[in-house]
Amino acid sequence: MTFGQQPQPNPNYEPQGGNTMNAGYGAQPQYQYADAGQRPYGQPQYAYAGDGAGAAAINGQVAYSYEEARRVSITKAYGEMTIGLVVTAVVAVLAQLTGAYYYFLAATGTIGLIGLCVVQVAMAVILGARIMKMGVGAARVMFYVYAALMGFTLSSIFWVYDLGSIGVALGITAAFFFALTMFSLTTKFDMLKLGPILMVGLIVLIISQLVLAFIPGVSGMTKLMCAVGLILFAGMTMYDAQSTRALFEAYESQGPEMIKRISILCALNLYLDFVNMFLYILQLFGSRD
């Protein structure tokens, strides 16, 4: 099980490399300026709007333009996340139908399983830590490769749970994830303040699960850990939803290339939230074969 790095907005970041322009964002001139004093809204045609109503209309247009850009950016992040989930699902089904995961474990044993987990953790950490210095294409490919490896590993759930339980768990997770996202993006409560608490809880959860993995006969504690994990990742989902919006607001002036990087980073965090919630719900309510 792997977990993404939770970024903090950094308005002072200087982007390195990458100058490919996306047509959708390249048409918005406000993304080409680092501060509000340089925005191109003092053009001659507005110089004669002497009344307050004209200035208010201009300010309203600017605010609408920025708000629309943020909505598009957030949609891009959730779109990247959705593609990652589709890649995971397709690879998981194919690995089950072909027996690829079974043959892999039969050939490599425990060493192969541990190696696969280490590679996934390393990819998530590298992508979260280095994405600002990577090319957009490389970052996107790395994210999809990570999603494919996750699907390869998750094909093992077909050995344990029946298809009905997997489908129900997936549907519940999708509905739960959507509700949490909508609540987070509309509420005035600031989930970003809970970031340190959530990270401490995540570390405690990981350590507890590792300890329980080596203690036999603690199925009751395992269920408890699943319940705690589900609550924790519900909080992480709300945190990451608000963090996505905050990151786009912090970096929107640095151009479309930066927006693409932020979209992939946020997609990774949201993807991990969804996958972990799905696994906890499946363990809590799934019927084993």
Q: Which of 253, 243, 267, 246 is nearest to 65 (CA)?
A: 253
Residue 24: predicted pLDDT: 36
Per-residue pLDDT tens over the stretch 76-121: 899 999 999 999 999 999 999 999 999 999 999 889 889 998 999 9
Backbone angles phi, psi at 88, to 5 degrees: -60, -45
pLDDT of 181 > 90? The answer is yes
pLDDT of 251 > 80? The answer is yes
* Burial class, 196, CB count within 10 angstroms (exposed 0-12 / middle 13-18 / buried 19+): exposed
Residues contacting 253, CB < 8 A, separation 6+? 30, 31, 33, 34, 35
Mean pLDDT score across all residues of the chain: 78
Q: How far is CA 183 from the centre of its chain?
A: 17
Backbone angles phi, psi at 37, to 5 degrees: -70, -15
Across the range 7-36, mean pLDDT stands at: 38
pTM of the predicted model over 0.85: no
Residues contacting 143, CB < 8 A, separation 6+? 80, 84, 127, 264, 267, 268, 271
Residue 62: predicted pLDDT: 44
- Higher pLDDT: 289 or 63? It is 289
Where is mean pLDDT largest: 22-31, 67-76, 95-104, 255-264?
95-104
* Cα–Cα distance list, 22 to 16, 143, 272 (Å): 17, 20, 27
Q: How far is CA 88 from the centre of its chain?
A: 14
Contact 16, 132 (CB under 8 A): yes
Site of tokens 């100058």: 19
Backbone angles phi, psi at 213, to 5 degrees: -65, -25
pLDDT of 10 > 60? The answer is no
